[in-house]
Structures are given as structure tokens and as C-alpha cells.
Amino acid sequence: MRLLKFLSPFVVLLAVSASAVPTKAPLTYTTEQSATAMELLYRLQDGHFNKQRMNDQLSRDFLDKYLESLDPAKMFFYDKDVKGFSQYENEFDNFFNKGDLSVPYQIYAIYQQRVRDRLSNVIAILEDDTVNFSFDGNDSVEIDRKDAPWIKTMGEADDLWHKRIKLGVLNLKMAGKTVDEARETLAKRYTNQLNRIKQEKSEDVFEIMLNALTVLFDPHTNYWSPRTNENFNINMSKSLEGIGAVLQVEDEFTKVVRLVTGGPAARQGQLKAADRIVGVGQGDDGEVIDVVGWRLDEVVQLIRGPKNTVVKLEVLPAGALSGGETSVIKINRDKVKLEDQAAQKAILELPDDDGRIYKLGVIQLPDFYIDFDAVMRRDPNYKSSTKDVARLIQELEKEKIDGLILDLRNNGGGSLTEATSLTDLFIDRGVVVQIKSSDGRVGRQNQAFSRPYYDGPLIVMINRLSASASEIFAGAIQDYGRGLVVGSRSFGKGTVQSVKELKLGNLKMTESKFYRVSGDSTQHRGVVPDISYPTLIDDTEVGESSYSSALPWDQIRAVPHPVYNDYSKLVPELEKKHAKRIKTDPDFVYLLDRIKFVERNADQKTISLNERKREERKLALETESMVLENERRKAKGIELYKSLEEFRKQGEEEQEEQEQAGPPKIDVDGDTLLIETGNIMVDFLAKPSASKTDAKELAKRY
């Protein structure tokens, strides 16, 4: 084996996996790419917040991540291939330090050949009329293969792929296609994938390889090739104006991170966070193109399009297993207008136990926005979230509200300056957030004014999709004891990235972390509410903690700060009343039942290839959904659904109404969580020691 040290990586790799030698000249790297790889590694080790060194352990992690990036479902590489690669598992640190990318490129060459061979075989099977598929047996297919062993034999691979093909045909058949139509559709999809893999260039391999390295430092550190940097706007919510969604690549899928409030997808209502887009089509009748394994910028190009045109998304729902049943969603493209994302207000009126009516102001803030162009022009009328919220508070106080609810659910963040200035409306001058850089220095974002704009009772609502700036604001309100925070645990993104130009492309790198005035990081853990609500959002699928390489939660020194109110004795009493109330609230009972329903069905690891069983399961799931809805309706005195057909039709009609209704308004009548938040506020205000006047005085105390 010592002799191998003197052989080039190219020769050694081919020696251990001779059967996988590509039939055409493999892609190779350029001198510029070699220099860029060395520069990227230097910048990561020198400037990333996580002072991680490229050593043998990181080298082994890189190999695992690179193979996962190429073949996440373990459908192409053989066990013998991986064993051949493993002889270099401790060498990639040395390769990157020298700019020697031969081994990663040869691994890709073997992957490319495996994909070509397999997809050519799959297409031939689909186009062979003598190959029949039956759907009346007892066989099933394993879907979640992330932890599965690598395929050992060609026979094992053939069996796995035969089941995959059969699953694809069955899914399309159940969606209304004939078997022949399903075969034709699948053949086209696999042909597209085959053509794409044949057209891959050195630049594509280079980007995949470097991102397998950067993601080891943290999930928000990425390499952008020159093409990616040119075609893909960093601000994804603006670059995806066509549907108003923020996307990312996870494994081989394009995953929905969040929807932009007021955008076409949010208004349409069917697309959800953590859904995976597996196909994209144009117009009502256009063919849906399979996009599994595509680059994110390529998927973006298909989704984008002129205003008032239709894009069709084939979606694998959040929690569903890869290869499971999909649905097609039609969305009318439109621009996400600033006014649709602007803060809005409403009045929520609720009684206490004695029948006294309390008037509560509600402000919904979907984004921390600011018109930077207008600010640069010194336009005094520039639009910002803080200015809009201040104006809405003024309008609400004219209506003599008893308390204020600030709704930050689904608010993915935005301007840090706005998070700071918005906090300024509720507390005295002081520190809002601490920022620790990679060199250990801690900076602080302070308030500008000395007196709060609003000093009345306050509750802040958050959920799993409240991120970044939302977490800074909610954390500050909680630490200062300025108000209660209710909802579900926030996203947990407490890191700051900057973009560095490289010889080729750019490096987006995490350089800092956010910390609250208490010293707690907002990273990973997020903001934990004072009173928690159940949620349908799976935090193993959505949120910082869902990333395997997310930076950990930690603490730094707290900043001396006043605590206006100590809610520690009040919260248990409010929680007790909350728990009692939701036990008999039909909407809360329904929400809890839906969560149990989703959790039960998320445990499925295999999918049956028996059509009758699949149809029976589909019918059972629909029936259970209708039963849960009817139980809610019965408790509320609403007419029950008499049949599944009626249930389905009503769902379609509600979907159309929602899409045509325009930007969503605050639903003070039907938003279960908002109404319960109002009830918690009433519980607080109705206390003998916390009448309206006393509560405002309590909030002023320093």
C-alpha cells in the first residue's frame, strides 16, 4: 500500500473501482478552480465564526457529505464504490490545502457513469411493452433510505429500481393516468434527468463539491459559482416574485422554507413550509417537468414567469416520504407588493368571566421592511415597518384599546435596524441585541430614544416560522419583561452572514452570532414562549435545529438592563386558565387532533405497491379528516358534511375563494390562536391587581 502514496489519486481510484471507469473522458478541474478551492478553505478557517480546522475528522465528514450530496437516497453508488473511496477519507484536507481536486472529480465521474447506466436501463424498461406491472401483490418499497446501507449487488439494485419504477407508475395511475400514459410520463422524466447528467460541466461538479465542504461549517455558509451568483438573487423572496416563496435545496429536493405573506402562494393557500417541489409545469395544460436533483437556480427559472400566468407545482407534502403521493398546485404568478406585506391592524373584542368587554388592538407584521432607496434619497416619507407600526398604534390608541397584540407569526425577519427601532417603540433606551464576531469581539445595537412610544399591556405572538429579526425583537421584549411572548418556539436562526468575492464565484459565510441582552443566543434554540401553543409545523423539518450542521446554542455575558415586569408568578396562573379553556374549545381540540393525525401518518417508512391497499388507505385518510372536521363542526353547531364528495368540493371552493380574496386580512373571528391570545390578555387585564390603569402603570415601572 505504501506504493499507492506515489500514485496520482486518479490512478488509485480507478484501480479500486475499475468496473466504474466512465466510457467518455471524465470532467476535470481548472487551475482557477484549484486556486479558488484553496482560497475558500483559507477564508473558512480564518473568518468563519465556528473556528473549525480542516483536519482528518472534517475530511471524513466531507466524504460522507459529498456522497450524500450526489446520491442522498443511496440509489446509484455500490458498496464497493464507497469502500474504494474510503481509502481517501483522511486525505481530503491535504487535497484541498494543495488545490488537488482529482479524487472528488473522479468520484463524480463514477457517479455520473452509474447514473447514466441506471437511467438508460430504467428508460428502456419503461419503453418496453413486454414489461408488465401488476399492482395486486403484497410487495412494498422502502422510501426513507437515508440510513440504509449502500447497495451491494446489481441484483439488489435492479430489484430496488424495479420497485421505484412500479411506484412511479402506480402514483400516476392513482392520479388519473392510464398505465401507458404513466410509463410515457416517467420515461420523459428520466430522459430529462439523463440529459441533464450528460450535460453537467466542470463548474457544476466544482460547486457541488465545495458546498459539501462549506455546509460542514454551518448550513448558511455556501459557495456560489459565477453562474449561480449571476442568475440567482441573494434575496430569494424578491427573486421568486412569481409565487412569493423562499426555497432551498435539501438532499435532491427543492424545499419550501417559508411563504411570503401576501404573495401568490400564500394567498392560494395549498403550498406549505417544508413541502418539496418535485415538478414544475407552465400554464393550465403544460407538461410537468421533473426537477428532482436540479440546481436551485434552474428550478427558480422554471417557477419564475410573467405576471398573470399560471405555474403548476407538483408537490410532495411536508412529512411525506420520498416517492409518496404528490399533488399538483396551480398558482397565478404575480409580484409580491410591498403594501401586501405591510403591517395592518384590527380590533379584537372579548369578554372576561364577568361579561365585561375588552377592546384589544392587533397589529400583524409579516416582515421587517424598509425602503432603503427612499432612505438613501433622504425622502422623509420613506416606508418602514417601525413607522407603520407606530402609526397603527396611534390609531388604535385613539380607539382606546385596553392592550396590544403584536403578531409576528410567519415573519421571517428582514432589516436588523428595523428590529432595533421597533423595539424602541416599547422600551426605554438600551441594548436590544448583542453581536459576537468570529474574533470574539461583542458589539451592541442600542435604542435611539429615551421613552417608549407605547407603554401599555403587550403580548407578542411567534411561531416556528418567526426568524432572525423577529427573534431579536421577541427576545428583547421577553428579557426586559416588557410583555408576554406566546405561540410556538421560533426558528432559531441566530447567525449573520457576509459575502466574500473569490477568484471564481463568491463565498457566503457565517461570521457572527446574535445574542439577547440576557446573554442567551437566539441560535438553534430560538425564542421559547412564556405560554406555548401546539403547532402543525414539524420542528424536525423546519427550523435551525433541523440542520445537522447548525451552530449550537450558547451564552455570553448578560448586559445590565431593567426588567419592567416579573411575570414569573403570573404566567403559571395564565397557563392554568389557558389549559382549561382549550380543553373545550372546538378549534383547539381540532388542532390537537390534526397534530396527532399527522404524527401517526409520519411514521410510515415503506409504501405499498398494492393498488387496492393504497386506495383504501387514501380513502381512510380522507374519511378520518372529514370525521375530525365534523367533530369540530358539531361542537360549534355548524352543519356537518354528509359525504366525502361534499367535503372535497367544499375544500376546493374555499381554496378558490381564498385565492381570489386578495391579500389576507387579520381574521379576528376565525383565527383560533389569535383569539386565544386575546383571551390570555383578558385574563391578565381582568385581574383585580391589573385593571387597565394599573396594567399601564405596571408597564411603566423601571
Question: Does 46 qualify as catalytic in the annotation?
Answer: no
User: What is the helix (H) or strand (E) element at residue 300, kind and residue range?
Assistant: helix 296-303
List Cα–Cα distances, 460 to 181, 423, 591, 601, in angstroms. Answer: 52, 12, 21, 32
Residue with C-alpha cell 380543553?
583
Alpha-carbon distance of 663 to 688, in angstroms, equals: 40
Alpha-carbon distance of 490 to 464, in angstroms, equals: 4
- Return the amino acid letter for 150: W
**Cell, residue 42:** 483559507
- Return the amino acid letter for 263: G
Alpha-carbon distance of 119 to 115, in angstroms, equals: 6
Alpha-carbon distance of 512 to 431, in angstroms, equals: 17
Alpha-carbon distance of 692 to 423, in angstroms, equals: 22
Residue with C-alpha cell 406585506?
341
Q: What angle do CA 574, 579, 585 make, to 5 degrees?
A: 120
Asked if residue 384 lies in contact with residue 343, where contact means CB atoms within 8 angstroms, the answer is no
Residue with C-alpha cell 419503453?
127
Residue with C-alpha cell 447548525?
550
Q: What angle do CA 364, 329, 464 make, to 5 degrees?
A: 35
- Among 509, 536, 510, 533, residue whose Cα is nearest residue 523: 510
Question: Does 468 qualify as catalytic in the annotation?
Answer: yes
CB count within 10 Å of CB 31 equals 9
Quote the distance between the C-alpha of residue 496 and its chain's center.
Answer: 17
Contacts of 629 by beta carbon, 8 Å cutoff, 6+ apart: 590, 641, 647
Catalytic residue among 65, 345, 493, 513: 493
List Cα–Cα distances, 642 to 134, 586, 635, 646, in angstroms. Answer: 35, 19, 16, 7
Q: Is the dihedral of CA 47, 53, 57, 59 positive or negative?
A: positive
Catalytic residue among 468, 488, 512, 521: 468
Alpha-carbon distance of 699 to 455, in angstroms, equals: 6
Catalytic residue among 93, 297, 340, 479: 479
- Among 189, 170, 163, residue whose Cα is nearest residue 618: 170
- Among 252, 78, 98, 272, residue whose Cα is nearest residue 158: 78
Alpha-carbon distance of 620 to 605, in angstroms, equals: 18
Phi, psi angle pair for 402, to nearest 5°: -90, -20
Rounded to 10 deg, the angle between the 154-174 and 611-636 helix axes is: 50
H helices of 175-220, where? Answer: 179-199, 202-214
Asked if residue 392 lies in contact with residue 445, where contact means CB atoms within 8 angstroms, the answer is no
3-class DSSP assignment, residue 507: strand
Phi, psi angle pair for 682, to nearest 5°: -60, -40
Catalytic residues: 468, 479, 493
